[in-house]
């Protein structure tokens, strides 16, 4: 059986260090070409953004009712992506779920860079970028403060808190691993790892403090998984636009966030374990577990769609009824049906253990989920705005090149940052892998394809 050949069923303590450090070896030509390609996309996005700031937002396809279409879609998408990282690194840590060890560093890195990317979009979409600091409560000569009734101010605090906690959490978890890497590295790399190991010596007292701090940070980060995306969803739920004004939004958005985030973890970890030969660390069994989360959240999402539609039908509110009718059968109704296919139908394949343990299938499904979740936000944001309360002001959004390039640029920016970090920092936690090595051995042997082979 192919899976059995590619996987060492008896990973040893020393294998962890060897394999993770092998992944950290200087990148080859392919790696740098990839990074350059991402950097090129980023530069393109920055170029178009500059043009937009210089000329005005009119260069985008945004129009009178659809004031928010692509940029806020990207914002919600990237914030959503971030959430699964915290779920995996914090909540699963608190619940002592062992399979998180191999993937949590990757997921957490994804979280930090996804939040960084998300944080750009409220800036990109501003009409007057140069006054963005008006949203920040700072002492000023005009005695003006931001309006704390506005969900956008809540957003500012939610994203700020999330970025702070997840960055500190990521860096804290890195300390023992950086100390490990420091021992072997030379030159500027040694300096880099020395800085990020914060003087780690591995003493008993340091380990004790480290464990305690890590536990506390996990505790801090856990409520953020629920709160940050709830706040983001209130950008919509707090308004009275039909299609936005709904109490289901907070749980619905959080489930969607974890759904899309876990899918993106799959998208990222599958190439990493293949190209950097980490299959013995990140086994099929880990991917299988991730896929189960994707499946579960997909079912929650499908249920949310049903409840959302049911509540609209049950209320018989004519404004809501019209908006939802347009969402399903309007001129841009195909977006909704693509979304349902990607988010509700295709993930059902994951019920099959064969699909869950096949990396190609998982990769393809995860891409579909990401497309579907991007479209979900787009359908909610652009679609509801287009079919607003004043029928004379209906106008559907059509994209222009600026926002398409900026959206692609944001993927380039995210992937560039992620790829650089993944190369220069241990992308699998050596410390935690070693802690759970015997347990990993047993779990791998008893998990599906190997159990079957045995």
Can you tell me which of 19, 38, 41, 68 binds other proteins, judged by CB under 8 A? 68
Asked whether position 67 contacts other proteins by CB under 8 A, the answer is: yes
**Smallest separation, CB 128 to other proteins (Å):** 4
How crowded is the C-beta side of 188, counted as CA atoms within 13 Å?
2
Per-residue mark of binding to other proteins, 233-252 (x: CB under 8 A) = --x--xxxx-----------
Instruction: Indicate the residue among 66 and 101 with the shorter CB distance to other proteins.
Output: 66
* Stretch binding other proteins (CB under 8 A), from 58-66, 258-266, 280-288, 402-410: 58-66
E runs forming strands in 317-403: none
Q: Residue 146: which of 103, 240, 156, 114 has the closest Cα?
A: 156
How many CB atoms lie under 10 A from the CB of residue 150?
13
Asked whether position 392 contacts other proteins by CB under 8 A, the answer is: yes
Per-residue mark of binding to other proteins, 187-226 (x: CB under 8 A) = ----------------------------------------
Distance linking the first and last C-alpha atoms of the chain: 10
> How many angstroms separate the CA atoms of 244 and 235, rounded?
9
* Stretch binding other proteins (CB under 8 A), from 118-126, 157-165, 262-270, 424-432: 118-126
Can you tell me which of 4, 22, 58, 183 binds other proteins, judged by CB under 8 A? 58
Can you tell me which of 23, 57, 82, 115 binds other proteins, judged by CB under 8 A? 57
Can you tell me which of 75, 214, 394, 450 binds other proteins, judged by CB under 8 A? 394
- Furthest-apart CA atoms within the chain: distance in Å: 74
> How many angstroms separate the CA atoms of 50 and 261, rounded?
29
> How many angstroms separate the CA atoms of 243 and 321, rounded?
9
DSSP labels, 193-220: HHHHTTT----HHHHHHHHHHHHHHHHH
Query: CA of 454: how far to CAs of 54, 99, 359, 445, 446, in Å?
Result: 65, 21, 21, 8, 9
Asked whether position 132 contacts other proteins by CB under 8 A, the answer is: yes
Residues near other proteins (CB under 8 A) are 55-58, 62-68, 122, 125-129, 131-132, 134-135, 144, 146-147, 149-153, 156, 235, 238-241, 318-319, 322, 385, 388-395
């Amino acid at each position: 059986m192919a899976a059995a050949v590619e996987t060492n069923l008896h990973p040893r303590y020393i294998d962890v260090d060897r394999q993770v450090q092998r992944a950290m070896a200087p990148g080859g030509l392919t790696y740098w070409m990839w990074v350059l390609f991402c950097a090129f996309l980023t530069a393109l996005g920055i170029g178009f953004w500059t043009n937009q700031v210089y000329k005005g937002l009119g260069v985008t396809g945004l129009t009178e009712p659809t004031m928010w279409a692509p940029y806020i879609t990207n914002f919600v998408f990237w914030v959503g992506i971030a959430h699964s990282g915290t779920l995996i690194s914090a909540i699963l840590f608190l619940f002592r779920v062992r399979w998180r060890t191999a993937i949590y560093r990757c997921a957490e890195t994804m979280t930090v860079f996804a939040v960084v990317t998300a944080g750009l979009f409220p800036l990109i979409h501003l009409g007057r970028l140069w006054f963005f600091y008006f949203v920040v409560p700072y002492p000023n000569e005009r005695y003006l403060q931001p309006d704390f009734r506005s969900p956008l101010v809540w957003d500012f605090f939610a994203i700020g808190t999330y970025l702070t906690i997840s960055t500190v959490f990521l860096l804290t978890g890195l300390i023992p691993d950086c100390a490990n890497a420091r021992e072997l590295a030379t030159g500027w790399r040694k300096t880099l790892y020395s800085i990020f190991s914060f003087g780690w010596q591995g003493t008993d007292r340091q380990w004790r403090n480290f464990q305690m701090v890590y536990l506390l940070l996990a505790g801090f980060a856990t409520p953020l998984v629920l709160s940050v995306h709830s706040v983001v969803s209130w950008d919509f739920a707090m308004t009275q636009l039909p299609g936005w004004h709904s109490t289901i939004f907070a749980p619905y958005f959080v489930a969607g966030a974890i759904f899309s985030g876990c899918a993106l973890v799959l998208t990222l970890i599958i190439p990493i374990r293949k190209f950097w030969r980490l299959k013995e660390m990140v086994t099929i069994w880990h991917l299988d577990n991730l896929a189960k989360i994707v499946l579960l959240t997909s079912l929650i999402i499908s249920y949310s769609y049903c409840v959302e539609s049911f509540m609209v039908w049950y209320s018989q509110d004519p404004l809501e009824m019209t908006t939802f009718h347009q969402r399903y059968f309007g001129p841009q109704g195909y977006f909704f049906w693509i979304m349902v296919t990607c988010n509700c139908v295709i993930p059902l394949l994951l019920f099959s253990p064969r699909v869950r343990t096949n990396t190609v299938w998982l990769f393809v499904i995860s891409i579909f989920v990401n497309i579907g979740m991007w479209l979900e936000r787009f359908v909610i944001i652009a679609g509801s705005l287009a079919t607003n309360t004043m029928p004379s002001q209906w106008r559907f959004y059509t994209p222009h090149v600026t926002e398409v390039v900026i959206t692609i640029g944001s993927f380039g920016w995210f992937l560039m940052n992620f790829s650089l970090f993944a190369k220069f920092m241990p992308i699998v936690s050596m410390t935690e892998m070693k802690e759970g090595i015997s347990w990993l051995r047993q779990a791998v042997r008893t998990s599906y394809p190997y159990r079957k082979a045995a």
